[in-house]
Structure 1
Amino acid sequence: MAAPIPADAALPRRLRRYILGALAAALVLAAGYCFGYEPPYRGTLVERPPRPLIFAHRGFGDHGPDNSLYAVERALRAGMDGVDLDGQLTRDSELVVFHDLSVDRLTSGVGRVRDKTRDEMLALDLGPKYDPAIHGAYVHAFEDFVGVVQGHGILMVELKVPGLAATGIEQRAVDIIRRHNAYRDVVLSSFNPLVLYRVKRLDPRVRTAFIFMNTNWNPKLLAEIKEGDKVDLPWVVRQEFIRRALRKVIRPDLLSVNQAVDHAVITRLIAKGWPVFIWTPEEDQELRWALSERPYGVISDRPIRAKQLRDQ
């Protein structure tokens, strides 16, 4: 028979059990807060519009060359509230606006954006591949778009990076926004939460948008992701409970949510006060649903139709 535990030894052992139990309970509560609880939105940099904003996807890409000033100027003349564009760094660390990671599909050039200099990129004409009658719709630097949009609409630019490591793209974008005092005119967006975290560390006044979707394998999404431009999102970033925790850390000002995300999730985020953009509804039924959710905005390849439905 085992010897009885002395009374003076039983108390510390019992105390250790209590302490371990308390720590386990604290961990469960912390995990519940991080992964389960969604606090109400408390951002202060975003003003609520009286009705959903309508943004032209890819800078009015169905009415002009993709991500071109040519298209953006037409979007603004058509009364769009803003445009959605894509920004990438060149080999010499300059920020240019271009959608694909490779220039092959949209221009007569070949190769990756990050392997070309700023001057090489700006010499590429986006017009002929879109319409043989259009010439002179050259690739432009991000700063050129800021000057055109400022005071006339909002520029939402997705910062594209090849991986998780810092590239300096955030610093470039923030410097340009500061130089033009374009805090109210530009939103920096990304699928990559580290990019948004770094932007806020550089300047908390810059507005950010966290882009997310559920899966890479939705057929409508794959139709947009051309050869040489496929970027797989890690499984972990595609889970809502992980995104919920990330939102608490990176504190984006807006969310840009693909329409394929569970509609209950979108409804809940809007109910929590989050300024949500829904992308990219195209068919009338999709547009009507998106607008009925009363989001902050809708990003569409058919922004003129979206505006018509909103204004009915």
Structure 2
Amino acid sequence: MQQTKVIAHRGSKGTHPENTLAAFQEALRVESDGIELDLHLTKDQQLVVIHDESVNRTTNGKGKVKDMTLYEIKQLDAGSSFSPAFKDEKIPSFQEVLDLLVKEDFKGLLNIELKTDHEPYPGIEEKVIQIMKQHKWLFQVVYSSFNYDSLIRMKERDYEAEIALLFEKSKGAQKKIGEKYTICMWHPKINWLKRVGLKTYPHQSMRPWTINSLSQMDYCFEQAMSGLITDYPELALKRRKKWQPDR
């Protein structure tokens, strides 16, 4: 039986300010099997790691990422809204996160989500590919997005790039991408997966999101899914021992 990989959602979102270096450092500390992050593009064409199209929810600033320069974004506090203990935590650039993973000798899975479903960010796929091709990384990379045109563009620019279907209600993306490109994994919302049942797709590898309750974790581990995406990687790793003893 395969061991279900634990993917830290936006770092360790449940315990640290999401998509910050502090969150990614925590995901590394607990030895998560993988790390998931979100990419946007600034006004001056810099890749930054943040989930929303605006900085309003997670920082002390206001405005859309696409209308701000990297310098302007770096002036914001991205930690205090989570806890005063993280005051002055910053929105990291994509390069800063990569540097951290290299420094910490990360050898797991990096799930890069392109947040192009609301803002298209023309050219973002090319920028990501250029950065990722500069080095031979020790970690595995998979790209996901709710915008399936972005996944197609990634494959057009790098046929060997691994892509995962990210969806909430249906798997219609597979028809859009077609048979031309290999899809390595499905990343469905857990509600959809439990509703349709694993038996409907017995041979499809799944990494559902966002698995935060013990009952959801148990479901994924009992079914020996390929992976799960969670805000609480340390909790999930401890829970996994009940179902899947460490190898």
1:270 Cα offset (Å): 5.7
Higher relative contact order (CA 8 A, sep 6+): 2
- 2-side partners of 1:251 and 1:73: how far apart? 32
1:267 correspondence with 2:198:
yes
Deviations 1:20-64 (A, max 9, x none): xxxxxxxxxxxxxxxxxxxxxxxxxxxxx9411101112101221
Amino acid at match of 1:290: C
- Unaligned runs of at least 5 residues, structure 2: 243-247
Counterpart of 1:63 in structure 2 is 15
Amino acid at match of 1:71: A
- Unaligned runs of at least 5 residues, structure 1: 1-48, 215-237
259-268 vs 194-203, greater mean Cα deviation: 259-268
1:282 correspondence with 2:237:
no
Matching of residues 62-81 of structure 1 within 5 Å: 62-81=14-33
Match among 11, 26, 41 for residue 89 of structure 1? 41
Match among 258, 279, 299 for residue 189 of structure 2? 258
Residues paired across the two proteins, number: 238
Counterpart of 1:130 in structure 2 is 82
1:301 correspondence with 2:236:
no
Could you tell me the TM-score, scaled by structure 2's length? 0.87
CA RMSD of aligned residues (A): 2.2
Contact 2:11 / 2:231 at 8 angstroms: preserved in 1?
A: no
- 2-side partners of 1:190 and 1:160: how far apart? 6
Counterpart of 1:221 in structure 2 is none
1:92 Cα offset (Å): 1.6
- 2-side partners of 1:168 and 1:180: how far apart? 20
- 1-side partners of 2:129 and 2:11: how far apart? 21
- 2-side partners of 1:176 and 1:94: how far apart? 11
Deviations 1:250-287 (A, max 9, x none): 43222211101143756247622x33211112221111
- 1-side partners of 2:144 and 2:87: how far apart? 30
Structure 2 SS opposite 1:271: coil
Amino acid at match of 1:110: K
Could you tell me the TM-score, scaled by structure 1's length? 0.70
Higher relative helix content: 1
